[in-house]
Chains A and B, each alone.
Chain A
């Protein structure tokens, strides 16, 4: 569906009187042909809430092993009282059934708290690349809290977002055939510029404008997905971001290293979902630190609504968050990981975007796809798919440049054993639209006899 811009700039930025920087970004001669308009829509009241959220993020502590967060009782009560979907829920978290994407997709209105003013509701329709299409409801406040969440991640590494009315703070870079692009401002960051751009040269007057525009505005933070970052690295604009935030699909270690070298800044791999925004962040492969103490994470058994033993693998399940338009109680994300507590922090480990896929070696041993990821991380793939057929042979397709094919073949041989046939194809163009590293297998648990 094609979105329509419907607001005036006054409605987009109720608190920002001076929008001259916005005009400058829009009318820049080297700028892209922006095809959309957007604002953060923050009123004084909203802004205050975002600021309070920022303070809360700093103050709140994470729950400890085998205990629930202190806020959970109150939160559940609030859900039972004000969210139609949870009307008949128990005040004990563990007694409640888990919900899935499908539950929300069929009736999103049931997850809106009665306290919400329906007028303030905003909708984001997910296309459904990872599941059924779904409307995610939120409001301007919830949306803007992405920035405090980012701030709290960066602050731990001593990085500060400065903002201010004459610089670009955040630039979301895309590399697609078609996507919405706009220049905007952030009220929370005192009128700092926010850009959403598409590296597709068709969107620019001259291809070289892409670099000049980025260089001219030198954003504090670059966000995007690994595929886009590969393209950006190739373009190699002379910019000095304070950090790069990768999300939407797993950032492989090779890509991260390459980016860090090129842009000389830390590159974060963010685990986030449309349903609740940020969840966890990784600076090292496979270990994601939870970033939000107000979002409780438990690991549930794949088949029953019970938590697995600490350290065991299961489905990441969420309760809480800060979106009253989509109140979550035991929401199964469809992603699998193990949970680990360490020094007052909580980590998601062995996080893979999908249900564990069964791979087997030539000696009929299970092969964890985490191991596959780890082994493949030394290659700078932007994306890949790996499929194992019933006859045990594997099909691999990777997107990336400068890949050593025989080294790759050797890696598969080490992983699966010399008895498994592999067919490998390496591509440098037409990156897949799918969002994550894809593991699939025709082998079912049942046909696998030890």
Chain B
């Protein structure tokens, strides 16, 4: 300990000096802040670094170095290599949060069933791509660094053996120099495949990600094996949490078909190539891979929300689940929303510039604000100096005609899917009508109800998009139907203007309507009738049920003035929501 303490100033000095050289290895014009130099494990921990001697963070383009660990692992003399490696994470892989999600996305498909290993495998893959580039393109002696790091470590995990064996293949090193003694013919075969993969996909590394992960799969399938591998390799893990913090990368709810093509097991590729190298049609069937993706939602274009949340949290471990879920439904609802009103001279919902935010590769190009970007830095580095303009709708609608307020009541009983785990058509529909109403300047009250049991509603009629969506994307799973007594809410009487009532439920609603009213007088039918009068803006039941089911009860509702819209398939709710939003809230349409 005293030894390492006395070495510290020396080491620090040499590393600081090596920084510029390390940058030059890649490109002298790379703009990166000098790393955060930590002199102890403890201070490194405060920066979020633990287990390894270095780490990177994409959001603030940060590199953190822990000198205590550098000395402990005996790599103090490799400043240039290690710093160049860390810079490699910023400039080569994963480079930015968009590609980071892309990397994670591909590996998740490959590591189906063991997705929790993705950040680990992504880190190993990134490292090896960077190291091989440094060793073979830039002529840095990375092999020496690894030889030092591997000195005397225990290598019991097959993944560890395999991973280090890849380096031996790549750099023509003696068997066992890095990988220890436990190679098997299978490990050799897989390492050989991985080495040629690394060489082939060094530039198009996103395309190699799924393949690499598939090679790693058998070594990580058992939980205990994974734990062991992670423990043994922990000193190498410098980018597992690189996406921590920052904004949610957009457009990730949708499935990207092109990804599936790259989720191919190199073992199968090798075998089918060998089997008939003239007939290259023998690619592992892509259709099978697509079924793994299991698209859902409109046009089956989207991932399941649970998968989306897991994925985004792997990219950014500090992301908030609720916000992610809201983002998910919002992304899906987006194409179906009514356009922002552009009516006459109405100031309604005008879009006002609010400020700027980081623009990253993958963000829509039209959002890139060149002026702000140029102001930030004369040298343009995508994702680092690029800015985008942020707008916010000005929802002051004092002079515009009042659109109907919207009450959305959604059945959240045991028969409904939890929108967090499975894509929910009713919630998607609810999101579309609510967001459309808000765009049009209306107020919205959202209510989830699964009764008898429980309910959850917004605090009256509100304009805050986030609060409405937060209620809609929650889940109860109690009772058997939407609780009609919820319509007794006094907010309907209090809110200014007329209110349209929209209830989404299924045929269990008729048992609910027939039940005795909690007021002690009559049945819930009476509550429904009264609510219609109190809202004075009409009402609609959207029922997932067979058409012509319960004609008598339907007749009663119709006579009260309710519209009844049957959907036999939940998917039809999308068309309904679109039409409904258009009818009530599209101001650009002539009424």
Contacts and interface: CB of A to CB of B under 8 A. Distances in A.
Whether the complex brings A and B within 8 Å at their CB atoms is answered: yes
Given A35-B414, A106-B222, A26 B480 contact: yes
A6 B452 contact: no
Interface stretch (B10-18, B80-88, B417-425, B556-564): B417-425
Given A5-B417, A37-B415, A106-B223, 5 more contacts: A5-B477, A23-B508, A23-B511, A33-B479, A205-B452
A5 B508 contact: no
A27 interface: yes
Given A4-B421, A6-B417, A37-B415, A27 B480 contact: yes
B244 to A, nearest CB: 26
B365 interface: no
A5 B511 contact: no
Nearest to A182: B414
A5 B477 CA distance: 9
Interface in A370-405: none
B361 to A, nearest CB: 36
Contact of B477 (A9, A26, A27, A35): A35
Interface in B401-420: 414-415, 417-418
Nearest to A181: B414
B353 interface: no
Contact of B453 (A6, A26, A33, A106): A33
B224 interface: yes
A4 B418 contact: yes
B414 A34 contact: yes
B422 A4 contact: yes
A36 interface: yes
A27 B511 contact: yes
A106 B228 CA distance: 13
Nearest to A36: B414
B222 A6 contact: no
Top 8 A-B residue pairs of the complex, sorted by shortest distance between their CB atoms: A27-B511, A4-B421, A106-B222, A37-B414, A33-B453, A4-B418, A107-B222, A27-B480
B478 A35 contact: yes
B414 A106 contact: no
What size tier do the contact residues of chain B reach? 10 to 19
B224 A106 contact: yes
A27 B508 CA distance: 9
Main secondary structure of the interface of B (DSSP, over half): loop
Contacts of A26: 480
Contacts of B511: 23, 27
21 contacts: A4-B418, A4-B421, A5-B414, A5-B417, A6-B417, A6-B421, A6-B422, A9-B415, A23-B511, A27-B508, A27-B511, A33-B479, A35-B414, A35-B477, A35-B478, A36-B414, A106-B222, A106-B223, A106-B224, A107-B221, A107-B222
Nearest to B417: A6
A134 to B, nearest CB: 12
A110 to B, nearest CB: 10
B549 to A, nearest CB: 12
A388 B417 CA distance: 51
A9 B480 CA distance: 13
Contacts of B418: 4
B455 to A, nearest CB: 13
Interface of B: 221-224, 414-415, 417-418, 421-422, 452-453, 477-480, 508, 511
Contacts of A33: 452-453, 478-479
A207 to B, nearest CB: 15
B340 to A, nearest CB: 36
A129 B456 CA distance: 36
A37 B480 CA distance: 11
Contacts of A4: 417-418, 421-422
Contacts of B453: 33
What size tier do the contact residues of chain A reach? 10 to 19
Interface string A6-20: 100100000000000
A23 B510 CA distance: 12
B128 to A, nearest CB: 27
Contacts of B221: 107, 109
Nearest to B113: A109
A9 B546 CA distance: 14
Nearest to A26: B480
A245 to B, nearest CB: 27
B184 to A, nearest CB: 16
Contacts of A109: 221
Interface in A29-54: 33-37
A171 to B, nearest CB: 19
A212 to B, nearest CB: 16
A23 B549 CA distance: 15
B346 to A, nearest CB: 45
Nearest to A119: B291
B383 to A, nearest CB: 37
A389 B222 CA distance: 39
A107 B221 CA distance: 8
A183 to B, nearest CB: 10
Nearest to A34: B414
Contacts of A5: 414, 417, 477
A5 B421 CA distance: 10
Contacts of A36: 414
A205 B508 CA distance: 19
B511 to A, nearest CB: 5
Contacts of B222: 106-107
Contacts of B422: 4, 6
Contacts of A35: 414, 477-478
A107 to B, nearest CB: 6
A204 B415 CA distance: 19
B567 to A, nearest CB: 13
A244 to B, nearest CB: 28
Contacts of B224: 106
A192 to B, nearest CB: 21
Nearest to B481: A27
Contacts of B452: 33, 205
A64 B478 CA distance: 53
A7 B170 CA distance: 49
Contacts of B414: 5, 34-37
A338 B192 CA distance: 54
B10 to A, nearest CB: 48
Nearest to B415: A37
A23 B507 CA distance: 11
A202 B453 CA distance: 11
A26 B481 CA distance: 11
Contacts of A37: 414-415
Nearest to B515: A29
A37 B478 CA distance: 11
A109 B224 CA distance: 15
A178 B224 CA distance: 30
Contacts of A34: 414
A267 B345 CA distance: 81
A26 B477 CA distance: 14
A366 to B, nearest CB: 38
B515 to A, nearest CB: 8
Nearest to A6: B422
Contacts of A23: 508, 511
Nearest to A9: B415
A205 B518 CA distance: 14
A263 B502 CA distance: 50
B27 to A, nearest CB: 47
A34 B415 CA distance: 11
A106 B224 CA distance: 8
A431 B479 CA distance: 29
A36 B416 CA distance: 11
A37 B452 CA distance: 16
A117 to B, nearest CB: 13
Contacts of B477: 5, 35
Nearest to B479: A33
B229 to A, nearest CB: 15
Nearest to A8: B415
A4 B424 CA distance: 13
A107 B222 CA distance: 6
A205 B478 CA distance: 13
